[in-house]
Chain A
Amino acid sequence: MAKAEFEIPELKEYPEIPPIQPGAMAHSKPYVAKADFQEPLGYPGELVDDWQDKAIEAMGDLLGKYRSLQVFLDACVKCGSCTDKCHYYLGTADPKNMPVARQDLLRKVYRRYFTFAGKYFPKLVGATDLTEEVLEDWYNYFHQCSQCRRCSVFCPYGIDTAEISMAAREIMDRIGLGQKYCNEIVGKVFRIGNNLGLPGPALEDTLEGLEEDVFDDTGVEVKYPLDKKGADILLVTPSADFFAEPHVDGLIGYGKVFHEAGVNWTLSSKASEAANFGMFIGSYENMRKISLRIREAALELGVKRIVFGECGHAWRVAYSFLNTLAGPWDFLDQNYPIPQHICEFTYDLIQKDKDKPEEEKVLKFDKSQNDDMVVTFHDSCNVARASRMGDFPGGQFVIPREIIKTVCNNFVDMDPDTVYEKTFCCGGGGGLLTDELMELRVKGAKPRMEALRNVIEEDGVTHMAMICAICKAQFTKVLPYYGRGMDMIVSLHQLVSNAIVLTGQQTEDEEEEENEAAAE
């Protein structure tokens, strides 16, 4: 149904920068949060009467708390370097989706109320009062930014539109104009423990089901424990991993790796969510509150290590912010990174296995299990540009690719302008993964779809692997609009899971014999 409501962008062999089309996406906005979703987060239930004053007050407060905001609002020279870098601009041609123009929605108000030039010469410097129209633009266009930071790579001053979007959303929340999708989810995490609102018993059921599936598949009893006191490792993973496809295949993979590594691990029903939408809404307090669940779970279960599953923004909060928000982590084992990414965990084992003879390896792989695929890798924005893996800059690019190459024979990278630090957002990050924004999501996926199409046609790529729950959900939903099957999308640890040979698992010969017998 949705397909008929807007035009699907046409994919080009060489990416084109569209001429501007003012107002092209002026209609796009997410549902506004009702009071029930606002109040648990500490925000007014609806737009307050003196919202102008309150918004300016909130802006002043944030300017004093965030150097990024203060410097970024001052430093922009309108050079235009960022104007053709945002996937939403490239996909929609709406000039307010150019990073600098999006920032200017806030900057022009900042100038009006906080700078000499804007107070006395507003027209000269493009400063404006905070009017209802401006507020509408704020709401619509700060919810057309996935906070992917691609613009910040190309800015000579490192201005990061994500910081501006986060501040704008926090200001709007404080005047009672919140976004339903994000705020409802944050509320669910506080109430139930995860974004999807899965209670403990449902998780337990799901995990038992996984154990049965893996046993049927391999004949090996791989455990997926929940709330196991005294476990060494707490795995915190996005709740989509518990049931969504292809997420759950990744979770199966983590469990197999842990099983082979012989570590004692557990999930937690309290911290049954790696995602932290507090970041999307720019709320330090909510982000901190969500993070503290992980600390509490770690203390209650008495774990020594924390490992995060495949999730982009969750890894940003984990890697970059967790020590700040919920540290210090002096009660954990200091010999391991705190926290550690599941890819770091797997890669570490692969590295240690390198010089060992085949039979002594901890992780044994049969790469041919993935021979039906030609795989490419989508760098998720928050992993690529807002975090790291391993002990060297850029480990976040090397480690996932090395894992893929260890478990797959066929790996191809996409156009260098669309991977590594220049990777394009999937189009659904930053709290925009909601159905009412489908047009934006489909159009925002265009640059990635173009790069993907090129490797499909030139290199016969069949699958795109990734390590982010939002990317996985977004692509599986959006690919059909571009005429591709959603099964192209795979979790990285799904590839690991396919290739891993569990101890005690039937060997290939046995399997072949069985197959032959079945064929006869």
Chain B
Amino acid sequence: MSFLTVAFAALFYAATILLVVGLARRIYLYWKTPAPLKIPTTPAPITTGGVVLRMFREVVFFESLFKGSKWTWLFGWVFHMALFAVLFRHLRYFQEPVWGLVEWVGPLFKYLAFAMVIGLLGLLARRYLVDRVRYISAPSDYLMLLLLLGIGISGALTTFVAHTDVVAVKSFFRHLMTFNFGTMPNLPSDPLMVIHLGLVALLMIIFPISKLLHAPGVFFSPTRNQVDNPREKRHIADWARKLEQ
């Protein structure tokens, strides 16, 4: 096995552990931190079903962002949806046999890499060009976009310009996933693939310690996930109940 192969094998194991453990810890933290008061942004649903629907509109259509800023919504929504589609298509590199649906959407979804990149460029332009958004941006805010752009562009190039030995890449990941190191093939060493995989690993590592926590965070946002029924149902946190004793 080449050094590159061993290094990337180690990197992806480490990145996966950091991602999973880091996210799990964060989600546990959100879960166990009480919300002592009812603070849904009203008008809010008055049933649990209504809250599920509100959350669905929020995470699928970015409803609030749409109300707030049409341009940010357009670029942000296009980027996220394209990202999910591209990720879905990437299942083909990890599955054996590949699901029919993944196989079927593959040829179409690969073009969504362009939508993803356009969305990211739009967000980057807005971040720099709008004085208000530039004011609130830290270096990490730009770097996050550049990281995602790097992933998107390097990935698109391997698909559309400089093909890599994708069969070997898939075999590498299949072996990683099954902890089968004996027959593990070498990872192709063309620079685009190395960059693409390296940036993906970096993204996985920083996910739980960065603003990417917005992904789990949105589900725990009390202003969006609470039912508007404070008069009907008494809501009280454990620490607040202790004040009553």
A316-362 contacts to B, CB under 8 A, are 319-321, 323-324, 327-328, 337-339
Instruction: Give the CA-CA distance A156 to B211 in the complex, in Å.
Output: 13
Instruction: Give the CA-CA distance A82 to B133 in the complex, in Å.
Output: 10
The residues of B that contact A368 with a CB separation of less than 8 Å are none
The residues of B that contact A68 with a CB separation of less than 8 Å are 35, 39, 221-223
Can you report 11 residue pairs joining A to B where beta carbons are below 8 Å apart?
A67-B30, A68-B222, A74-B211, A78-B211, A80-B132, A117-B209, A157-B214, A163-B39, A284-B37, A385-B42, A396-B42
A115 contacts B33, C-beta separation under 8 Å: no
The residues of A that contact B206 with a CB separation of less than 8 Å are 117
The residues of B that contact A385 with a CB separation of less than 8 Å are 41-42
B41 contacts A158, C-beta separation under 8 Å: yes
Instruction: Give the CA-CA distance A319 to B223 in the complex, in Å.
Output: 16
The residues of A that contact B231 with a CB separation of less than 8 Å are 319, 323, 337-339
CB distance from A56 to the nearest CB of B (A): 18
B34 within 8 A of A: yes
The residues of B that contact A82 with a CB separation of less than 8 Å are 68
B237 within 8 A of A: yes
Instruction: Give the CA-CA distance A394 to B143 in the complex, in Å.
Output: 41
The residues of B that contact A20 with a CB separation of less than 8 Å are 131-132, 135
The residues of A that contact B38 with a CB separation of less than 8 Å are 320-321, 324
Number of interface residues of A (CB under 8 A): 75
The residues of B that contact A104 with a CB separation of less than 8 Å are 136
A75 contacts B218, C-beta separation under 8 Å: yes
The residues of B that contact A152 with a CB separation of less than 8 Å are 41, 223
CB distance from A233 to the nearest CB of B (A): 16
Instruction: Give the CA-CA distance A72 to B218 in the complex, in Å.
Output: 9
A507 within 8 A of B: no
Q: Which of B29, B69, B136, B140 contacts A154 (CB 8 A)?
A: B69
The residues of A that contact B218 with a CB separation of less than 8 Å are 75, 156-158
Known: A160-B39, A324-B230. A78 touches B222 (CB 8 A): no
B81 within 8 A of A: no
The residues of A that contact B139 with a CB separation of less than 8 Å are 123-126
Complex A-B, nearest 6 residue pairs according to Cβ-Cβ distance, in ascending order: A154-B68, A75-B217, A126-B138, A81-B68, A158-B223, A80-B133
Known: A78-B141, A154-B65, A328-B234. A393 touches B42 (CB 8 A): yes
B7 within 8 A of A: no
B224 contacts A83, C-beta separation under 8 Å: no
The residues of A that contact B50 with a CB separation of less than 8 Å are 393
The residues of A that contact B42 with a CB separation of less than 8 Å are 384-388, 393, 396, 421
CB distance from B218 to the nearest CB of A (A): 5
The residues of B that contact A154 with a CB separation of less than 8 Å are 64-65, 67-69
B220 contacts A67, C-beta separation under 8 Å: yes
A71 contacts B221, C-beta separation under 8 Å: yes
The residues of B that contact A319 with a CB separation of less than 8 Å are 230-231
Instruction: Give the CA-CA distance A384 to B42 in the complex, in Å.
Output: 7
Known: A83-B136, A337-B231, A393-B45. A158 touches B64 (CB 8 A): yes
A392 within 8 A of B: yes
A81 contacts B234, C-beta separation under 8 Å: no
The residues of B that contact A74 with a CB separation of less than 8 Å are 26, 211, 213-214, 217
A158 contacts B224, C-beta separation under 8 Å: yes
Instruction: Give the CA-CA distance A288 to B37 in the complex, in Å.
Output: 11
The residues of B that contact A388 with a CB separation of less than 8 Å are 42-44, 46, 228
Instruction: Give the CA-CA distance A72 to B221 in the complex, in Å.
Output: 7
B126 within 8 A of A: yes
Instruction: Give the CA-CA distance A323 to B230 in the complex, in Å.
Output: 7
Instruction: Give the CA-CA distance A388 to B136 in the complex, in Å.
Output: 33
Closest to B230 in A: A320
A64 contacts B39, C-beta separation under 8 Å: no
Instruction: Give the CA-CA distance A327 to B131 in the complex, in Å.
Output: 48
The residues of B that contact A79 with a CB separation of less than 8 Å are 65, 69, 72, 76, 133
Using CB atoms and an 8 Å cutoff, list the residues of chain B in contact with chain A: 26, 29-30, 33-39, 41-46, 50, 58, 62, 64-65, 67-69, 72, 76, 126-127, 130-133, 135-141, 143, 206, 209-211, 213-214, 217-218, 220-224, 228, 230-231, 233-237, 239-240, 243
- Count contacts between A and B, CB distance < 8 Å: 220
A145 within 8 A of B: no
A455 within 8 A of B: no
CB distance from B193 to the nearest CB of A (A): 27
The residues of A that contact B127 with a CB separation of less than 8 Å are 78, 80
Given contacts A64-B33, A320-B230, 15 further A-B contacts (CB under 8 A): A20-B135, A22-B135, A65-B33, A66-B34, A66-B36, A71-B33, A75-B211, A79-B76, A123-B139, A124-B143, A125-B210, A157-B214, A158-B58, A158-B224, A388-B43
Q: Which of B29, B64, B135, B230 contacts A321 (CB 8 A)?
A: B230
A101 contacts B67, C-beta separation under 8 Å: no
B35 contacts A66, C-beta separation under 8 Å: yes
Known: A75-B218, A79-B76, A117-B209. A65 touches B239 (CB 8 A): yes
The residues of B that contact A17 with a CB separation of less than 8 Å are 132
B213 contacts A156, C-beta separation under 8 Å: no
Instruction: Give the CA-CA distance A66 to B206 in the complex, in Å.
Output: 25
A95 within 8 A of B: yes
A245 within 8 A of B: no
A160 contacts B33, C-beta separation under 8 Å: no
B37 contacts A320, C-beta separation under 8 Å: yes
CB distance from B215 to the nearest CB of A (A): 9
A270 within 8 A of B: no
The residues of B that contact A386 with a CB separation of less than 8 Å are 39, 41-42
B65 contacts A81, C-beta separation under 8 Å: yes
A124 contacts B140, C-beta separation under 8 Å: yes
A142-200 contacts to B, CB under 8 A, are 149, 152-160, 163
A70 contacts B33, C-beta separation under 8 Å: yes
Q: Which of B30, B58, B209, B223 contacts A115 (CB 8 A)?
A: B209
The residues of A that contact B234 with a CB separation of less than 8 Å are 323-324, 327-328
Closest to A155 in B: B64
Closest to B29 in A: A70
Known: A125-B140, A156-B58. A98 touches B132 (CB 8 A): yes
CB distance from A210 to the nearest CB of B (A): 30
